[in-house]
Amino acid sequence: MNKSLKIGLAVTGVIVLVGAGIYAFTQEEDSTLNTATPESSTIAQQPAVDKQPTPTVQTASTSTGRYSAYSESAVADASYNTTVVFFYAPWCPECRAFKKAINEGPLPDGVQILETDFDSSTDLKKRYGVTLQTTFVRVNSAGDLQKKWAGYGQDKSLANLLENIQ
């Protein structure tokens, strides 16, 4: 077998492996099997036909949507119905596009997105099984994983993010 054919086969193999890796990370992962809570069960039982937006009424128990830095106290803030941890890398164009979409908001009442640095949040990455920047992890107020979604290669819109993390 000549040298250029071997190189071509090697390159093709690498491309297939990278494509398979990206495909695996962009697939929806629902981890509610072992961590089901009443809140996550309620979300899973919502009928798929109900696509009409419902008006949000802010009460004392629901806060205005926010995008801020990750902290354990922010995760524990029970005035948010939905808390999403965004594994962001400043060098990643996909992350920057999602950050722009989030900042253009507005975020719905009761939703908070907490940004954490992908490169330095080693413990959080291990805790939630995150291996790719642009990963969004919905957690409850105890910090337990409810759902994980890798936005890499996906539509960079706030609506898409919120739809895929519910």
- Greatest pairwise CA separation for the chain in angstroms: 72
DSSP symbols for 74-135: HHT-TT-SEEEEEEE-TT-HHHHHHHHHHHH-PPPTTEEEEEEETTT-HHHHHHHT--SSSE
Block residue for tokens 């060098």: 91
> At 124, is the pLDDT very low, low, confident or very high (cuts 50, 70, 90)?
very high
pLDDT for 63? 82
Q: Rounded to the nearest 5°, which phi and psi values hold at 113?
A: -115, 125
Assess whether pLDDT exceeds 70 at residue 36. Answer: no
In whole angstroms, give the CA distance from residue 150 to residue 129: 11
pLDDT for 14? 55
pLDDT for 13? 57
> At 45, is the pLDDT very low, low, confident or very high (cuts 50, 70, 90)?
very low
Go through the domains of the chain in sequence order and give each one's CATH number. Answer: 3-44+63-165 (3.40.30.10)
Evaluate if pTM is beyond 0.95.
no
| pLDDT tens-digit readout, 59-78 | 445 788 999 999 999 999 98
Contacts for 163 with CB less than 8 Å, ≥ 6 apart: none
Element (H, E) at 35: helix 32-35
pLDDT for 111? 95
106 CB-side CA count, 13 A = 6
pLDDT for 110? 93
